[in-house]
Structure formats: structure tokens, C-alpha cells
Amino acid sequence: MHVQRFQAEGQSPSFTVVDEFGLPVPEIEEYLKYLRQTASPNTLKAYSRAIARWFEFLAPTNHTWLDFPTTFFGNFLQYLSTGEGNQVRALHPSSTVWLSSASVQQHAAAVSAFYTYHADANGLTTAYNKLHFRSSARRAPYQGFLTGIAPTGRTTKLAYSIRSGNKSRQPILRIEQVHQILEATATTSHNPRVTKRDQLLFTLLWETGMRIGEALNLTHQDMNTGQGETPFVDVVPRKEHPHGIRGKTFIPRRIYISDELENAYVEYLWELIDAGIDLDIPNVAGHYIFVNVNKAPLFAPMRVESVYQRIRAIRKHTPELPAFTPHWFRHTHATALLLAGTQPHVVMRRLGHTDVQTTLNTYGWVTDDAEMQAWEGWKNVTETWRGL
């Protein structure tokens, strides 16, 4: 079995699992069809891979996905971590690197969700019960005001837990490193349009805390240049990006931006107009902001791979920079806000988290870190950011 990528006309890329004859596996495809209604292409790919590995694990044992010993799931998780746990062929025979605890957890969650779906949709509870046990609360559970009216959730847990170890702190950039990256956008490209685009992208990620998928999905109509009022950008959840790029959540939000970021956008927009985007693209306002400006197809939406290509060029030119990714700007943005004294609920809304506890669990450590607090300039940096 292997994961197969496909893309229907006019739709985002998706994934399924096919057998040795190249045909979709019916029970897996049924679940993935349900999952496509809400999940991103990246989630679909990860879940497809995890379920395919589970089926591969079962295949040499002559057990089916509905009939297997309870211990097999524990063996499967151990196998993913160490390569040991069952007399089956290796998933990656040429590799000695096995999956991290976080990846094993993701595989467990995917297989659990697969069986949960079939238990709820098709009544196949026997296999579901092999992976889960009924949890018992030590005290009476909280009774909400919808008790007896709303459907109750499952009170079961996975039979095998995975130790995730200590959560590592999110990697961040120093303020001077952010400036180095922005300066390097000019020295690593001889094309002024590439420079303007990259400076806008990295400044946007740094000042707004957007995810890279959210940024690449922005259209020109999402940018409000102020016209005498405070400029802002609307983060609009979209699924139709031709390269399957999308944000993690579907909660729209508005982020007020600085005059500097507004000016960077206007300068980049004029570069696009000088290049003739209004002649090639009928509806510029509804077109993506970040596009190809130095290669064919001209003005086509930018790929994530192109962003990482530019990052590699910047790091080659500035080797003292860490091996950063676009998501480091989001971590740095949240860190700067919290160390500047911004209220956590404001940071929550700016990042697009669904609750403030997520923000505190992810970034709350920075306010207790003496070394982080000693880094200079956090408050000065955030002074020009709006809507705080």
C-alpha cells in the first residue's frame, strides 16, 4: 500500500491510500472522504500515511483490519518508535531513523480516528474496542446545562499511551536576526520585485504572527491600506489555493498593522503593476498577493517550496543565522508581545488561537525566562504594531 496524491479539476490536492493494484482501499477511502470535509491537505496526507502503515503492519500477520489481537496496536506503536515489535518487514528498510514520540502520537491518533469513524458510522465497534478502554472518573463528571439534550461524547481512551517527553521550547529569532533576514532579501536577489515580495512576506510574518499558509492565501482585497485610518489585514480561511495551501484553522480574524508594513505592501503592489499584473490578471483585487515575479508562470500563486528556497539562499548568504523556518516568525511574534507586556487574550486573538489556554501553554514560559526577559528591545519593537 502507498499514499497516492490526486487533484480533481478546480479543487485542492488530496490524498488516498491505494493497494498493490493501484486501487483505493475502500474502508480507508470511506473515512478519508469524510475527513476531506474539514481537514487540510497536510492532515489528510499525514493520516493517510499513518493508516497505510497500520494496514502494512497487519498484512504479513494474516489478520484483517477488523480482526486482530489487542496487543497488535501496542506492537505497532513500539515498531514505529524502535523498529521492533512484530515479525514484519521494516517500513523503511534502508533507514535506521525511526519516528519521534510526537510522530508516533500522530499515527496513534490517526488510527484511533479511523476506527472511531467506522464505529460511529457503521457500527463496527469490535475493532474500536480493541484499541480503546472505557475510562473511569474518580469523581462525578461535570454536568453541563445541555446534559440530557446534547449527545454525549465517548468516555474511552486509547489502550496504549505514548510518552511525549518534555515539550521543547519554541525556537525564536533574536531581533537583530529578524533585521538580518530582511536585509539579506536584498543582497540575495538582483530582482527588485523579488526583494520587495520577500521583504513584505517576512515582515508580514514577523509583525502579524500569521502561519505561512495564511499568508500565502492572502489576496489583495484582504489588505486595507488605511486611507487615513488604521491599516489592517483580514485573515480569511480559504481552501481553493491551487497548490493546496491553507491555514490550520477556519476562524477569520482581523489584524491591524503598522504604517511600515502598509508601505511595504504598497511598494510591492506598484512593482506588480509596473510588471503588468493588471494586464494579465482580470481581477487583481481577488488575486493572491504573493506570486511568481521572476519566473513562469508569471503572477501565478507562490508555492511554499519557493519560500523555503528563498530561506536557503538567505542562510547561505548569512551562515550565522539559525536554520529557521517561516513558523519561527510566529513564535517570535508571540514572544515579543508577551515580553512587551501584552495581555495573553490579545495575543490569543492575534494568533488565531481558539482559547487563551492554548496561548499560555505554548508561549507562557517566555515570561518566566530570565534570559528571554534580558533580551533588549521587545517593547520598542512592538510599539508600532497596532491593535494591541
Query: Where residue 305 sits, what CATH number does that domain have?
Result: 1.10.443.10
Q: How many structural domains does the chain have?
A: 2
What is the distance between the alpha carbons of residues 39 and 114, in angstroms, rounded to a whole number? 14
- How much is the pLDDT for 310? 94
Is 200 in contact with 265 (CB distance < 8 Å)?
Answer: yes
* Domain final residue pick, 109, 127, 158: 158
Domain end position, chosen among 129, 158, 187 = 158
Q: For the chain, give me the number of helices (H) and strands (E)? A: 16, 7
Flag whether 315 is in a domain.
yes
154/198 same-domain check: no
pLDDT higher than 80, residue 168:
no
Position 250 pLDDT exceeds 80: no
pLDDT higher than threshold 60 for residue 192: yes
Same domain? For 207 and 337 the reply is yes
- Asked whether residue 216 falls in the same domain as residue 271, the answer is yes
| Same domain membership, residue 181 and residue 52 | no
The overall average pLDDT reported for the chain is 83
What is the distance between the alpha carbons of residues 124 and 118, in angstroms, rounded to a whole number?
6
Claim to verify: residue 44 and residue 111 sit in the same structural domain: yes
pLDDT at position 200 is 96
| Residue 165 is assigned to a structural domain of this protein | no
User: Is 376 a residue whose pLDDT tops 60?
Assistant: no
Query: Tens digit of pLDDT for each residue in 54-104?
Result: 999 998 888 899 999 888 888 888 888 877 655 444 444 444 446 777 788
Closest residue by Cα to residue 369 from 378, 382, 358, 381? 378
- Report helix, strand or coil for 188: coil
Q: How far apart are CA 46 and CA 54, in angstroms?
A: 13
Q: Are residues 203 and 305 in the same domain?
A: yes
pLDDT tens digits for 226-244? Answer: 777 899 999 998 878 888 7
Q: In angstroms, rounded to a whole number, what is the distance separating the alpha carbons of residues 307 and 52?
A: 30
Q: Please say whether the beta carbons of 99 and 127 come within 8 A.
A: no
**Is residue 145 assigned to a domain?**
no
- The confidence band for 139, taking pLDDT boundaries of 50, 70 and 90, is very low
Q: Are residues 184 and 79 in the same domain?
A: no
How far is the CA of 82 from the CAs of 49, 60, 91, 103, in angstroms? 18, 19, 11, 13
**Residue 303 sits in the same domain as residue 216:** yes
Partners of 134 in beta bridges: 156
Q: What is the pLDDT of residues 264-310, one digit of tens each?
A: 999 999 999 999 999 999 999 999 999 999 989 999 999 999 999 99
Q: What is the pLDDT of residue 178?
A: 93
Task: Report yes or no on 169 lying in a domain.
Answer: no
Domain annotation covers residue 170 = no
Separation CA 56–CA 54 (nearest Å): 5
Write down the pLDDT at residue 155: 54
Q: Domain of 98?
A: 2-137+150-158
Using alpha carbons only, give the angle 342, 346, 352 rounded to the nearest 5 degrees: 130
Q: Is residue 168 part of a domain?
A: no
Integer CA distances (angstroms), 332 to 124, 243, 340, 370, in order: 46, 27, 12, 16
If asked whether residues 85 and 185 sit together in one domain, one would say no
**Residue found by looking up cell 511600515 in the block:** 260
CA distances from 107 to 8, 33, 58, 62, 114 (A): 27, 19, 15, 21, 11
What integer is the mean pLDDT of 324-328? 93
Three-state DSSP at 14 gives strand
Write the DSSP assignment of 314-328 as a string of letters: HHHH-TTS----THH
- The answer to whether the beta carbons of residues 79 and 136 sit under 8 Å apart is no
Model pLDDT, residue 247: 73
Q: Look up cell 521543547; give the residue.
A: 168
Task: Tell me the C-alpha distance between 256 and 364, whole Å.
Answer: 23
Sign of CA dihedral 335, 340, 344, 346: negative
> Same structural domain for residues 89 and 184?
no
Rg (CA), the chain: 24
Identify the weakest region by mean pLDDT among 99-103, 104-108, 337-341, 381-385: 99-103
Q: Which three cell numbers, joined as nine digits, stand for 287?
A: 488575486
The answer on pLDDT for 364 being more than 80 is no
Tell me how far apart the alpha carbons of residues 360 and 345 are, in angstroms, rounded to a whole number: 9
In a domain, 164, yes or no: no
Question: Is 12's pLDDT higher than 60?
Answer: yes
Please give the Cα distance from 215 to 29 (Å, whole number): 31
- End position of a domain, from candidates 127, 158, 189: 158
Residues 213 and 275 in one domain: yes
Cα dihedral sign for 294, 297, 301, 303? negative
Closest C-alpha to 35, from 92, 133, 116, 93: 116
Q: Evaluate if residue 384 carries a pLDDT over 50.
A: yes
Assess if residue 50 is contained within a domain.
yes
DSSP class of residue 350 equals: H
Taking the CA atoms of residue 251, residue 225, residue 346 and residue 365 in that order, the dihedral angle to the nearest 10 degrees is 90
Query: Do 132 and 184 fall within a single domain?
Result: no
Which segment of 14-23, 199-208, 336-345, 354-363 scores lowest on mean pLDDT?
A: 354-363
